Structures are given as C-alpha cells and as structure tokens.
Amino acid sequence: MTFLERINSVLYGKKPDKVPFAPKAGLIPRGRFEREMRNKGMGLYSESPVCWHEMPDVKTEYETQKDTRLTVYNTPVGKISSGRKNNKIRRMIENVKDYEPVIFMIEDTIFHPDYSVYLNTVRDLGSDGLVRASGILNPLEEAAGFIGVGNLEKELERHPQELKRLIEALEHRTERLLEVIINSPAIFVSVGFISNYYSPELLKKYVLPFYHEYIPQLREEDKICALDINTSRISGIKEMISKIGVDVLQGFTPPPEGDLSIKEALEIDSVIWLNLPDCILFDDSFSLREYIKELIRQDKSGNSLILGLTNLRNIDSIEMEETYKNALMTIIDVVG
Amino acid sequence: MTFLERVKTVLNRQKPDKVPFAPYDNLIPRGDFEREMRNRGMGLCARRSSVGSRTPDVWSESFRSGDIIETIYHTPVGDVSTKRRTHLGRLSDSGSVQLEWMIKDIKDYETVIFMIDNAQFYSNDEGYNKPLRQWETDGIVRGSGLTAPYDSTEGYFGLFKWGTEQYDHPDHFSRLLDALERRAERMFPYVADSPADFIAFGGLSGSYSPKQYEKYILPFYRKYIPILREKGKICAMHAHASNLWGFRNLLAAADIDVIEAFTPPPIGDLSIAEARKAWGNDTVIWVNFPETVFLSGPEATKEYTIDLIKSDPPGLLVIGMTELGLYGVADEYTENAFKEGIKAIMDAIDECAF
C-alpha cells in the first residue's frame, strides 16, 4: 500500500497493511533523513485553505513597530485591534463597545472559493501525503479567540446579550463558509477544535448543537470531518466529544501527557489520530519502542489508529535534533 | 557519489561522476514524484540567508482591499507605499504581483534613501546552518550575497518608470544609487564572514544594455569578488536573461565562479558551447532547463539534454530549474509533460555519466 492508500483505508473504516504514521509536514523538514523516512512509509499531513476572504467595508492596518505587532480594523461602527502592543496581548474584545465592530466584521466577511492552493498541494504530495481542508470553527472557541479564553464565562454573565449576538453572527458566517467547503473538491475537512477550558454545560449549550447541525450536512456530501483536540486534558469532556459524532479526532495526546488512555479514546466512535507526546520522543527514560507497540496493540480493530505529530516542542539544539530523528526512526521501525 | 559530493565536485572545478541535477527546492515541491526523483539522484538547491536586516526607524502598516494589499512605510522624513495583487496562484511563491512601487514621485526619493540608510544588518548563522544540517547530502544550501546597487534600483520603480527615471531625474537617481552602494558596503562584511561557502552574488535580468552593465555592474564585481575569493567563497551570478549573447564578454570580465540560471536556446540566445568559449574552462555553468522543451515530449527532452551535456566537454555543468519547475503545471496534460520531461532529463544524465 502507498501511504495515501493506507491512511485512506483507516479513514474509510478498512484495515490497512500497517498503522499509518502521518506527522504534520511542517514538523518534518526536508532532507536526506526525511526522504528515507518517506521511503520507509511515513506520509505527510498538510492543511490547505479552499477559499480566501475579505471584509469589503473594513479597512485593515498592520502596525509593526519595535514591541508592537497590531492588526487594527477600522469599521463604520468603530475601531478595534488585536495582537501585541508594547509587549502586552491585546484582544479584539476588551470592552463591551468592541462587540459592535467585531459583529460588523463577521457579517461583512465574504468568502471567495479558491481551490488552487488545495489542488496544487494534493497534486504535489501525490501518494506521499494527505491534505486536510481548513473548514469551520465552532462559535464558542471562536468567540473565546476574540474575548480571551479566561474571560468567556465572565462575559456570559456580564454581557449575555452581546455574546449571544456574536455567536449568532458567527453561525451565520459559518453557513456561508459551509457552502464553499461543501462545493470544494476536498474530502477530508477540518471542523475546528475543542479545548477543555469550558464546562460540559457550556459545551452542551453552544458546541453540541453547532456540530449536530453542520457535521451531517458535510457527511451528506461525503466529507470526512476531523476535530482537533487542542488539549491533553479531555477525560472530563469525553462524553461530550463522543456525542459530537465526528469521523476523526485529530491531535489526541495519550498518557503520560494526556489524561485519557488510548483504550478509553477508542471507545469514542471515531478514528483516533494521535499526537505522540513530546516526553516519549525526547525523554530517554521512556522506552519508545515498547510505548508505540503498546499503543498499536490497544487498537483491537486495527483500523482506528493513526500515529502522528501535530504539536512539537521547540527543537533548539543539535542534540535535540538527533534525539528527534532517532525517535522518528524508531516509530517507523516499530510500525513496520 | 551523493548529490552533495557531485555538485561540490563541480563547484570545485572537477569532473563529477555525472552532471548534477539541482532544481530550486521551492520549484519541486514535496511529494511522491519528488521523492522518486531524489531517490534517483536529483538534489535540490535551497536558498537560505545567514544575514538578517532591520530598519529600526521605519514602521509599516498594510491595508487590504479585496485582493489588493497596500503597504505604507512611515519614516521621520515621509511616507512611501507599495501595492500588491494577491491570490493569483502559482505565479510566484507568494502568489502575488506588485502593482505599485515605492518611488512614484520625485519627493519619494528622500524617504526611500532614508530607509536604505536606516537598514542595519546582523548575522543569522543558524538561518544557514540549520538547513545545512537538515538537507545533509540531499541538497546544496546557497547563502545570500549582495545584489549590485544598480540592479536594486529597479525594485523601487517598476521596470517602465525605472527606465525613464534615470533620464528624467539623473541627480536623484544618482543619490539613490549612492545610498544603495553604502548599504552594500555595510552588508558586505556579514556576507564575507558568513558560514556559507557557496553564495549568490548579483544577477543579470537583461533589461538594460551591455553599456550600462559595463558602467554600473562590472565595478561591483571587480570590487567584491576578489575579497570573497580570498575568503574561500564560491559566488554564483543569477544570469536569467535570455539575451546573454550581447553580454558574454562582459560576464567573462566579471570573473565570477558560477553563472547560474543560464537559459540555453530555444529560450536564451547563447548556447553552452558559445558560453564556454567566452568564459573559459574555469566557470561553472548552472543551467536553467527551459521547460518549454518538455512540450516536445520525453524523447525530444532526452535528446536535448544529451546534446546539452555533450556540448560541454569540460563537464563543469549543473542542470537546474531556477524559474519555473513544477510551478508550470496547470492541469493533467502539463503535469504529465513536466513529470515525463524531468524523468527524461535524469535518463539523459545517467546515459551521459562520465
């Protein structure tokens, strides 16, 4: 099997010849070693947009100075900014008056389908990689991006009406984006990410209905939906994730960094695409070989697991580069 | 020989086991085809800089309107701006083209000269060393060098205005050129002391006459090349002009180690044999393979490549792709033509092994 045939087997519920190993392309720099890894069966996972967007009535400025990297949005209903000013993080919504311009921007967003980047990437990678199309984001996580993760629950108490309008605007925008994604040639698409910052109640109220509305529409068009797990602490929201009903859980970090075992994760009716924990790659005290063997053993069906790397600590020394290479070689050797 | 040994052998003016095939890395993106070619011996040329720059007293802001991005540069002596159209596909790595350049009016000179004089340089050795470690024997990493100040001037006007401005405002143009000379002098020590032994050094676009080349460009090479050679650097000029015939003797006078992006007929007007005759047996000719040949089919491509290799008995040749590569693929037909063409180049190289 080629890498693409192998990973597609898993995505379509069939048994591959061996467990696919598919790190994010950006984490595997090009060179002799990377070529050898691909010769041994490693594939690359890449993300690509299927559209670009504009906000015709918003003037965007990028301010770059010494300690400032700020994006300033000028809208007819007010000015907002985000980024870093004098080395302090600046969120788009820092004050109740900021809601209006943010909602204006969301409503002003026009999506222009452009499949060229996606198609070029698919053509380039050929059977050596899989391309995921950037897709929709759930409104709770997106709103948190505007407000700041730590402030979301407070905002729900302080400004519930404004937050409700923001979430509604985001949902309307998602409907416009969804059309572009559905019409795109992409099969494997992202449906955003989920974190453990919010209570199961909040997820139940805002996240679950969102996915229950959109995932069936994408599935109807034969899309395979992947949800990123942006946290290693998911045991408390396992039930919620299970109810979302997504095809692939991507970036799932197993113990010792994650708090949910691979066995428990496999109880969720999704393909589990692992983010192998940094500590098992870089810490000599772990037997990487045994660890990978055990992970593979846990998947009794033999068609629900993809080994991957989606997050990686900064590799800032030659020693770390060597350790990383040795770890990758061990993984591919164990996979067979 | 590994690819790296092969290409280094040529750069050191010795005959390798066979002609190295070394397209730019961005022009042959990662994938199954690229891996197959690399397994067969193709290597890639990665251009990475070990010199960083900053302009501490300049700050910029950008405005997006549809697919147009306008960038305004603010300086204490005034503002200048540029415009780019984006989302244009694989025309370039950025998928964009420039629509407006910094100098639109005579008053813009002062601001641009301020920006040039404000540029500071610093060493960024890891920007070169890290890719070197990553590529290992599969690629050659080329460091960045200087661009001739006269060539740099075009980037502030766009080709048309650049042509007229030299005659409309010669004094201002001359001041701009002086500022770029000063910048080159400030940057040069960082290039000379960089860890890169193989570096880019200037180019030739063919948008001006040999007379201008002699006046503005030749002194640049005569000033810097001897110092770089003393430092053990191998310098490559990016001569992608298709009208090199008129420049051939001047290029010999530049006395550069590698003439790169050299595009032979049917696109360029100078053949390998003619170039070798003009430049002698000590210059490496790094060919930009004319992809249009692919459209004649793999057999014709193979024959063309064999002729190319046989036309250079000294064998100081590298075959590369410096302008288009797989960026020329637009559909199934061109994909097939380009991939079969690249395979044919490799077949020819193997057949002509020394």
Look at A129 and B31 and tell me if their CB atoms are within 8 Å: yes
The alpha-carbon gap from B64 to the nearest alpha carbon of chain A, in Å, equals 6
Q: Which residues of B touch A (CB under 8 A)?
A: 25, 29-35, 38-39, 44, 46, 56, 59-67, 86-87, 89-90, 95, 131, 133-139, 326, 329, 335
Phi, psi of B130 (to 5 degrees): -65, -50
Based on the domain organization, do B197 and B311 belong to the same domain?
Answer: yes
Q: Does A114 touch chain B (CB under 8 A)?
A: yes
For residues B97 and B7, state if they share a domain. Answer: no
Tell me, yes or no, whether B67 and B86 share the same domain: yes
B184 and B142 part of one domain:
yes
User: Is B32 a domain residue?
Assistant: yes
pLDDT for residue B221: 96
B114 in a structural domain: no
Cβ-nearest to A124 among B29, B39, B65: B29
- Of A175-184, A238-247, A285-294, minimum mean pLDDT range: A285-294
Q: Are B73 and B210 found together in one domain?
A: no
Give the model's pLDDT for residue B278: 97
What whole-number distance in Å separates Cα of residue A162 and Cα of residue B343? 61
In a domain, B149, yes or no: yes
Q: Is the Cβ pair A124, B31 closer than 8 Å?
A: yes
| A285 has pLDDT over 80 | no
pLDDT at B147: 96
pLDDT of residue A327: 94
Q: Cβ contact (<8 Å) for A32 and B90? A: no
Closest residue to A31, CB basis, from B64, B87, B135? B135
**Chain-chain contact of A318 with B67 (C-beta, under 8 angstroms):** no
Residue B239 and residue B257 in one domain: yes
pLDDT at A103: 98
Residues of A with CB below 8 A from B133's CB?
318, 321
Same domain for B336 and B264: yes
Residue B339 in domain: yes
Same domain, B66 and B190: no
Count of the separate structural domains present in chain B: 2
A139-to-A53, A173, A174, A195, B80 alpha-carbon distances in Å: 18, 10, 9, 13, 40
Token digits for A108? 């002003």
Kindly report the average pLDDT of chain A as a whole number. Answer: 93
Same domain flag for B86 and B182: no
Distance CA B212, CA B235 (A): 22
Q: Which of A35, A72, A125 sits opposite B138 (nearest CB)?
A: A35
Is B167 in the same domain as B270?
Answer: yes
**Chain A contact set for B56 (CB, 8 A):** 66
Give yes or no for A254 touching B (CB within 8 A).
Answer: no
CATH number (domain holding residue B163): 3.20.20.210
> Does residue B268 lie in a domain region?
yes
Distance to chain B for A3, nearest Cα, Å = 10
Q: Which residues in chain A are closer than 8 Å to B64, comparing Cβ atoms?
A: 54, 60
What pLDDT is recorded for position B74?
94
As a whole number of angstroms, the distance between CA A48 and CA A184 comes to 12
Is the pLDDT reported for residue A233 higher than 90?
Answer: no
Domain boundary among B36, B70, B104: B104
| Nearest by CB: A61 against B62, B67, B133 | B62
* Host domain of residue B280: 3-55+119-351
Mutate to test the interface with B, among A5, A32, A70, A119 (most CBs of B within 10 A): A32
pLDDT above 80 (res A51): yes
Structural domains in chain A, CATH included, are 3-55+109-335 (3.20.20.210)
What pLDDT, on the 0 to 100 scale, is given for residue B71? 93
Alpha helices in chain A (DSSP H): 3-11, 32-39, 99-108, 116-125, 139-147, 152-158, 160-183, 200-202, 208-220, 238-244, 262-267, 278-282, 288-298, 318-335
Q: Cis before residue A277, ω within 30 degrees of 0?
A: no
Predicted structure pTM score: 0.94
Confidence class for position A299, pLDDT limits 50, 70, 90: very high
pLDDT of A196: 81
Take residue A79 and report the two structure tokens written for it: 């000015």
Q: Do residue A29 and residue B137 have CB atoms under 8 angstroms apart? A: no
**Encoded tokens for A287:** 């037997």
Give chain A's end-to-end CA distance (angstroms, integer): 12
Across the interface, whether the CB atoms of B87 and A2 are under 8 A apart is answered: no
Mean pLDDT of A180-195: 95
Compute the count of residue pairs across chains A and B with CB atoms less than 8 Å apart: 92
- Distance, in Å, from the CA atom of A289 to the CA atom of B59, rounded to the nearest integer, reads 51
pLDDT per residue, tens digit, chain B (354 aa), is 999 999 999 999 999 999 999 999 999 999 999 999 999 999 999 999 999 999 999 988 888 888 999 999 999 999 999 999 999 988 888 889 999 999 999 999 999 999 999 999 999 999 999 999 999 999 999 999 999 999 999 999 999 999 999 999 999 999 999 999 999 999 999 999 999 999 999 999 999 999 999 999 999 999 999 999 999 999 999 999 999 999 999 999 999 999 999 999 999 999 999 999 999 999 999 999 999 999 999 999 999 999 999 999 999 999 999 999 999 998 999 999 999 999 999 999 999 998
Shared domain for B340 and B287, answered yes or no, is: yes
B251 near B262, Cβ under 8 Å?
no
Residues B182 and B87 in one domain: no
A 48-107 → B contacts, CB under 8 A: 52, 54, 56, 59-66, 72
Interface check for A36 against chain B (CB to CB < 8 A): the answer is no
Q: Are A309 and A34 in contact (CB under 8 A)?
A: no
- Model pLDDT, residue B138: 98
- Residues of chain A above pLDDT 90, percent: 78
Q: What is the pLDDT of residue A195?
A: 85
Query: What pLDDT, on a 0 to 100 scale, did the predictor assign at position B16?
Result: 96
Higher-pLDDT residue of A158, A85 = A158
Say if B66 falls within a structural domain: yes
Q: Given this model, what pLDDT does residue A67 score?
A: 77
- Per the CB < 8 Å rule, is B38 touching A35? yes
